[in-house]
Amino acid sequence: MTSPNDSQLLGQPQTGLVDPPTRSPLLEVGDLKAGYQRRQVLYDVSLTVGAGEIVAVLGHNGAGKTTLLKTIVGFVPLFGGRIRFAGQDLTGRSYTTRVRAGMSYTSAEAPVFRDLAVRDNLELGGFTVASVQDRATHMRQVFALFPILEERQAQLAGTLSGGQQRMLSLGMAIMARPKLMLLDEPSLGLSPAIVQSIFQQIRQFAQNDGMSVLLVEQNVRAALRISDRAYFMRAGDIILEETNERALARGSWWDLF
Same domain for 140 and 86: no
Q: What is the CB neighbour count within 10 angstroms for residue 1?
A: 12
Residue 205 or 226, more confident: 226
Same domain for 159 and 58: no
Same domain for 186 and 95: yes
**Which residues span the domain enclosing 80?**
4-102+178-256
According to the 3-state scheme, what is the secondary structure of the chain? CCCHHHHHHHCCCCCCCCCCCCCCCCEEEEEEEEEECCEEEEEEEEEEECCCCEEEEEECCCCCHHHHHHHHHCCCCEEEEEEEECCEECCCCCHHHHHHHCEEEECCCCCCCCCCEHHHHHHHHCCCCCCHHHHHHHHHHHHHHCHHHHHCCCCEHHHCCHHHHHHHHHHHHHHHCCCEEEEECCCCCCCHHHHHHHHHHHHHHHHHHCCEEEEECCCHHHHHHHCCEEEEEECCEEEEEEEHHHHHHHCCCHHHC
Same domain for 127 and 67: no
Distance CA 179, CA 82 (A): 19
Q: Which residues pair with 89 in a beta bridge?
A: 84
Residue 5 or 161, more confident: 161
Start-to-end Cα distance in the chain = 16
Same domain for 211 and 195: yes
Whether residue 110 is contained in a domain is answered as no
**Residue 80: pLDDT band with limits 50, 70, 90:** very high
Residue 9 has what pLDDT?
A: 37
Same domain for 185 and 93: yes
Domain boundary among 149, 177, 205: 177
pLDDT reading at 16 higher than 50: no
pTM score, whole prediction: 0.84
Residue 111 or 27, more confident: 27
Whether residue 107 is contained in a domain is answered as no
**Residue 20: pLDDT band with limits 50, 70, 90:** very low
Domain boundary among 156, 177, 198: 177
**Which is nearest to 211 in space by CA: 234, 241, 177?**
177
Domain boundary among 141, 156, 177: 177
**Which is nearest to 58 in space by CA: 250, 224, 204, 252?**
224
Number of domains composing the chain: 2
Residue 91 has what pLDDT?
A: 95
Residue-wise pLDDT for 225-250, tens only, equals 999 999 999 999 999 999 999 999 98
Residue-wise pLDDT for 51-69, tens only, equals 999 999 999 999 999 999 9
Residue-wise pLDDT for 140-170, tens only, equals 989 998 999 999 999 999 999 888 898 899 8
pLDDT reading at 1 higher than 70: no
Same domain for 128 and 232: no
Same domain for 126 and 94: no
Whether residue 96 is contained in a domain is answered as yes
